[in-house]
Structure 1
């Protein structure tokens, strides 16, 4: 039996996002993963970014740019990206959590928006995380 590409990407991405969620100490209740092209993820974060005391914060991931941090708008428009993690598409979950904590402390390491011309095999890149995507996320 051969696995469907979207299923393999979905399992891997869910597992990867779950590990990032755990590193951040979140439950994952306010998150979603979309594996069918283009692959994306959304995590609602607790807290506020300096300079945006009245705006919710989200951590976003997409297959072209990797991780970014954004503030929500009040009008239901698109989020406003404040920072990109950098060139790594799938950095270790602990590194993502450290980067997010730094953003909340006001650390702004200038990082250029990553290029979108990557040619990657997401199924292979996400395969190590697939098992974590099969286990129900802890509640609490």
Structure 2
């Protein structure tokens, strides 16, 4: 994780908004922020470790990757410590799809549905402007709902 004590106000707002968004996605997937890291460099990116493995690669840890240009991707860890191997990109019109949409993406890949996602990184937006990133992240607001007593998350491995 890239850490900096000299973060501009707008960058700080974007990082706070990203943490909030990651928390919502993690809640939907059953993982906490302790499983996440954020890289403050441009393009801003995040890593969210998942607590499950995919059936077609049971010996590899799996993570969600997010960045301000391409949105979400799912990747598997390597044994050699090299970069993660991206399996698919979620794609779509926004870098901040709903946590339920991200969970459906993960669930489909968990069910070995290789028809979901994109093989190449989609160009959703150009990175670099902390103000625009903060605005897009702050535009994501979870819809308030009344919690059901035994409501289950969408992602159920």
Q: CA RMSD in A?
A: 2.0
Q: Judging changes above 3 Å, is the alpha-carbon distance between structure 1 residues 62 and 36 closer, same or farther for their aligned structure 2 residues?
A: same
1:129 deviates by: 5.3
Give the aligned partner of residue 58 of structure 1.
63
Shift of 1:114: 3.8
- How is 1:1-140 mapped onto 2 (pairs within 5 angstroms)? 4-87=9-92, 88-112=94-118, 113-116=120-123, 118-119=125-126, 121-128=132-139
Report 1 or 2 for greater relative contact order, CA contacts < 8 Å, sequence distance ≥ 6.
1
- Please, which moves more after superposition, 77-86 or 46-55? 46-55
Matched length: 128
Q: TM-score, normalised by structure 2?
A: 0.73
Q: Secondary structure at the match of 2:18?
A: helix
**TM-score normalized by the length of structure 1:** 0.82
Mean CA deviation greater in 111-120 or 79-88: 111-120
Task: Tell me the alpha carbon deviations over residues 40-89 of structure 1, each in whole angstroms, 9 at most, x when there is no partner.
Answer: 11011111113211000010001111000000001110000001101331
Distance 1:119 1:81 in 2: 20
How far has the Cα of 1:23 moved from its partner? 0.5
In structure 1, the gaps of 5 or more residues are 131-140
Rounded Cα–Cα distance in structure 2 between residues aligned with 1:8 and 1:22: 21
